[in-house]
Structure 1
Amino acid sequence: MTALEPFGARLRRAMDERGPLSVGIDPHASLLAEWGLNDDVAGLERFSRTVVEAVAGRVAVLKPQSAFFERFGARGLAVLEKAVEEARAAGALVVMDAKRGDIGSTMAAYAEAFLHQGAPLFSDALTVSPYLGYGSLKPAVDLARESGAGLFVLALTSNPEGGEVQHAVRPGDRTVGATMLAHLAAENAGQEPLGSFGAVVGATLGDLSSYDLDMGGPLLAPGIGAQGATPADLPRVFGKAVHNVVPNVSRGVLRHGPDIVALRDAAERFAEEIRAAVAAG
């Protein structure tokens, strides 16, 4: 296997050229209905292809949520495979939002499914859960390095329930979330212009100045749009790390479908607003 250029370097270039925006591909039943599509494989395929056609050639990142494809079984996964292939062919980086996390050979198998270049679902990066212990992610870390892919580790998520784990204080007065950020800083040490091992940090969390978010890697930031955060909030939330933030917008863009031009225009508006907010920060 010939490794790709490291994910962090590819992401930095894509963000600089296309703007720092990730668009989610979240074909849940209510959104399919809003588009006038049936909640079946045909609707799933039409939805996915429309989003890819509209924005994959223009945004830095597309982030499919695998669960919405998995619920249709093998045929849904076939649609996901095609969406990944077509998005990457159009120049977007694909972050697979699968939030995998396990131990040993099972974690290695998850890594093979999404991070091995020969896999049908090979993606540029994968979201992972470290809450069986950060060390449980080692098979994914190792394969990501080998293939030139990346990881986004759940650290400070936007869901209210996350706080009971992520803000829990460990011995030494460091929270669990801060511990994950420290692990990622170690993974990214010496990597320029951007490390390949990032964190998921919610844009809705408010002041995070007590956390060292400048850990050398990207920050995938859900919460812009329907969850209430705006591009203007980014400098306040992320401070000096704002230049490494990849805000994700899903419904804020997807609600404009199935019109391709409207989807594209919405994505471009968000990208410009985010670019301006980052520059101001």
Structure 2
Amino acid sequence: MTHGSSIPGASIPGATFGERLAAAFASRGQLCVGIDPHSWLLTEWGLTDSAAGAETFGRSVVAAAVGRVGIVKPQVAFFERFGAAGFVALERVLADARAAGLLVIGDVKRGDLGTSVEAYADAWLTPGAPLEVDAITLAPYMGVASLQRPIDIAREHGKGLFLLAATSNPEAATVQQAVVANGPRAGLTVARAVLEDVAELNADDPRGGAGFGSIGVVLGATLTLANFGINIALAPPTRQTPVLAPGFGHQGGNIMDLTSIYGEYAEGVIVSESRSVLSQGPDRLAAAIERRATEVGAVRG
């Protein structure tokens, strides 16, 4: 594995997010490193629990990720807790990641409608914005159609979205396993309905090719997806739905089970890990990322 500073194809002008994700996978594999400056991690790293500590932490993770993985995922809540100074720190972390050619998924988990959700998309997906990332996570529980403006903005700028469908936290099961009562998705679970809506959006995207779509879903690695009404033997036949997969590593998901967990979706799975590598500390972080990236690559062949 070479440790160049950029991902071939990741910054092609006019490319869709799906195309850039495919380039990242081809160049650096499917591992995504989380940037989660928990207070306890900052302490273990010998940093202050402050915006300055979070900035040092985040920029160090980016530096260790370059050339070893193609994707990073900052959890913005850990920066937001420091207020304005935390957002300044996050902006600097994101600037480093963009300069390095990494794909950045902003784990923002916003969920709103109308002009409010449009403003979130403007903040995170507009080229040149201080908080610009390549994709964001969104909560679709006011209806996937309520996210139409972020969908439009993402398509316009070659950005991506990941909609929560089946998440690893047990509290979510009551909602995500509930059955839709009416409409075109009647009889499906909420999780399956979100997945179907996303597959339809990708199929209808005039800019997409036959590879990855630019809208994905979040499906936790610690779940039995059949319990959420999701048949992993059935993937979209023409355009793959990307899957952001939290839960590997510290939360108990085993990378050796990638194919058995995700079935036909495994090719498009972003293997997201945070604490399992971040807890190795600043001196061992780069080696931990490289080791884990190699393990994930071995599973995918």
Q: Which TM-score band (shorter chain)?
A: over 0.9
One-letter amino acid of the structure 1 residue matched with residue 199 of structure 2: A
Q: Which runs of 5+ in 2 are unaligned?
A: 1-11
What code does the residue aligned with 2:201 have? E
Matching of residues 141-160 of structure 1 within 5 Å? 141-160=151-170
Could you say what secondary structure the match of 2:251 adopts?
coil
Q: Counterpart in 1 of 2:199?
A: 185
Name the residue aligned to 1:258: 282
Q: Report how many residues are paired.
A: 276
8 Å contact kept, 2:280–2:288: yes
Any idea what SS the aligned residue of 1:226 has?
helix
Give TM-score, length-normalised by structure 1: 0.94
CA 1:115 to 1:207, structure 2 compared with 1: closer, same or farther past 3 Å? closer
Kept in 2, the 8 Å contact 1:35–1:258? The answer is: yes
Partners in 1 of 2:254 and 2:286 — Cα distance? 19
SS of the residue aligned with 2:250? coil
Aligned to 1:63: 73
- The one-letter code matched in structure 2 to 1:116 is T
Give the corresponding residue for 1:276.
298
Distance across 2 between alignment mates of 1:46 and 1:117? 25
Does the CA-based 8 Å contact 1:4-1:149 persist in structure 2? Answer: no
Q: CA deviation at 1:273?
A: 1.5
Deviation string 1:104-137 (CA, Å, 9 cap, x unpaired) is: 0100100100011131111100000001111111
- Secondary structure in structure 2 of the residue aligned to 1:53: helix
Matches within 5 A, 1:51-130: 51-130=61-140
Q: Match of 2:23?
A: 13
Match of 1:196 in 2: 214
Distance 1:165 1:278 in 2: 32
**C-alpha separation in 1, matches of 2:118 and 2:13:** 18
Larger mean CA deviation between 208-217 and 68-77 belongs to 208-217
CA distance in 2, matches of 1:256, 1:55: 14
Structure 2 letter corresponding to 1:211: I
- Check if 1:234 corresponds to 2:258: yes
Q: Which residue is 2:4 aligned to?
A: none
Distance 2:189 2:105 in 1: 27
The residue type paired with residue 31 of structure 1 is: L
Residue by residue, what CA displacement relative to the aligned partner does 1:33-69 show, whole Å, maximum 9, x if unpaired? Answer: 1111110122112111111111133212100000111
Q: Which residue of 1 aligns with 2:246?
A: 222
Tell me which amino acid in the other structure corresponds to 1:184: V
Secondary structure of the equivalent of 2:198? helix
Q: Give, as a single letter, the amino acid of the residue that structure 1 aligns with 2:260.
A: R
Q: What is the letter of the counterpart of residue 125 of structure 1?
A: A
Q: RMSD of aligned C-alpha atoms?
A: 1.6
Deviation at 1:167, TM superposition (A): 0.6
Provide the TM-score with structure 2 as the length reference.
Answer: 0.88
Measured after TM superposition, the shift of residue 30 of structure 1 is 0.9
